[in-house]
Amino acid sequence: MSGGVDSSVAAALLLEQGYDVEGLFMKNWDEDDGTDYCTAIEDLEDAQRVCELLGMTLHTANFAAEYWDNVFTDFLHEYRAGRTPNPDILCNREIKFKQFINYAAQLGSPLIATGHYARSCGHDKGRERNFKLLKARDKNKDQTYFLQAVPRTQLQKCLFPLGEWQKKDVRSYAKEHGLHNHDRKDSTGICFIGERRFADFLNRYIDEKPGPIHDLQGRSLGEHPGLPYYTVGQRQGINIGGVKGRPESPWYVVGKAANNTLIVSQNEHDLGGHWLRAQQVNWLRTPSFPLHCQAKIRYRQSDQICCVSEAADGQLLVRFEQPQRAISPGQYVAFYAGEELIGGAKITTCDLRI
């Protein structure tokens, strides 16, 4: 129970279906700096109001230590290494499923449920090979991309009540059933960053290390304050002024070199890559190689046709039929067979021109 409309309606639907339902509010970040960017107190109040209306018990648990050790430490390590991490995917694996399932087991519950937009089938067959995780009916809200790193054994213990629902219908249901948070704005971004400027937050944990900005030919174009403040594909905030002999067109970040150099280009085609390598693989269905399937390298991207093979070092080699814009090491690639999420992995390298 996050305090939002999705988890609230998920709980209400399960009660309608006859389940014995209790709620869990997780606190995953300690706001030790005295700021108001994380809304844990207000979220808890909203969750309590919903549970009182539905007649549910609400438990609270503080997983801040586990979050710091298993998610945030990795987040900082990846940025220091010049990569762009995705803590939401790691949080789902380490906290919202692993810790949640362990806590529920201590209360005697064999199942958990979340407000994620995803569908599952095969729970009632009693045989592992029947379980599948499918895209949500609401394609604009489908969140299977963020579930790719969660082990199959954990996903099998989770119910997804909103998988067949459209978001607008979830809000309508909440309003009709008197849930006060029916029009609450969806949360975006990472809780520990909140609404503050990302650069200001990151500067509290990572020392600035200025370095040169070069184009693909190695020509100097200025200086950057630190590679962690940039992502591949970025065109805003690079702060390159007029360059003699160059057109007045935008610059794009196309890579980060090992010598602390930011690589940029005015040609957006330089962001296109045909392949990537990935590790930390999580398969929800045992594959046969070469695997012809679809993939996403970012949330809400349309499915991209690809071929996946296994390299000698155990990493995956993913080749795309069409070039992909701004493949980013540190991010994740999710694999699909039509509607079914079949696995995912963490991107290590790609063929961007750096």
Nearest to 275 by CA among 327, 345, 315: 327
Q: Do 232 and 129 have their domain in common? A: no
Model pTM score: 0.93
Give yes or no: 191 in active site: yes
| Among 247, 266, 285, residue at a domain's last position | 266
Strands 132-135 and 340-350: antiparallel
Report yes or no on 183 lying in a domain: no
Give yes or no: 91 in active site: yes
What pLDDT is stored for residue 125 in this prediction?
45
237: left (phi over 0), alpha (psi -120 to 50) or beta: left
Residues 6+ apart with CB under 8 A from 5: 170, 171, 174, 179, 181, 182, 183, 184
What is the CATH classification number for the domain harbouring 80? 3.40.50.620
Q: Do 172 and 214 have their domain in common? A: no
Report yes or no on 166 lying in a domain: yes
What pLDDT is stored for residue 288 in this prediction?
97
Q: How far apart are CA 144 and CA 137, in angstroms?
A: 11
Catalytic residue among 91, 158, 293, 306: 91
Q: Do 254 and 307 have their domain in common? A: no
Q: What is the mean pLDDT of residues 325-346?
A: 97
What pLDDT is stored for residue 332 in this prediction?
98
Report yes or no on 185 lying in a domain: no
Q: Do 126 and 261 have their domain in common? A: no
* 294 neighbors 306 (Cβ within 8 angstroms): yes
pLDDT tens-place string over residues 204-254:
899 889 999 999 999 999 999 999 999 999 998 898 877 777 888 899 999
What are residue 345's phi and psi, to 5 degrees?
Answer: -160, 160
Mean pLDDT (the chain) is 92
Q: Do 276 and 262 have their domain in common? A: no
* 20 neighbors 56 (Cβ within 8 angstroms): no
Report yes or no on 94 lying in a domain: yes
Report yes or no on 161 lying in a domain: yes
Q: Do 15 and 157 have their domain in common? A: yes
* 335 neighbors 346 (Cβ within 8 angstroms): no
Q: Do 277 and 308 have their domain in common? A: yes
Q: Do 70 and 160 have their domain in common? A: yes
**Structural domain span for residue 284:** 272-350
What is the CATH classification number for the domain harbouring 249? 2.30.30.280
Is residue 178 predicted with pLDDT exceeding 70?
yes
What pLDDT is stored for residue 313 in this prediction?
93
Q: Give how many domains the chain has, as a whole number.
A: 3
* DSSP class of 139: T
Catalytic residue among 38, 51, 158, 191: 191
| Among 233, 250, 266, residue at a domain's last position | 266
pLDDT band at 36 (very low <50, low <70, confident <90, very high): low
Report yes or no on 343 lying in a domain: yes
Q: Do 134 and 54 have their domain in common? A: yes
Q: Do 22 and 127 have their domain in common? A: yes
What are residue 41's phi and psi, to 5 degrees?
Answer: -65, -50
What pLDDT is stored for residue 344 in this prediction?
98
Q: Do 10 and 128 have their domain in common? A: yes
Q: Do 251 and 135 have their domain in common? A: no
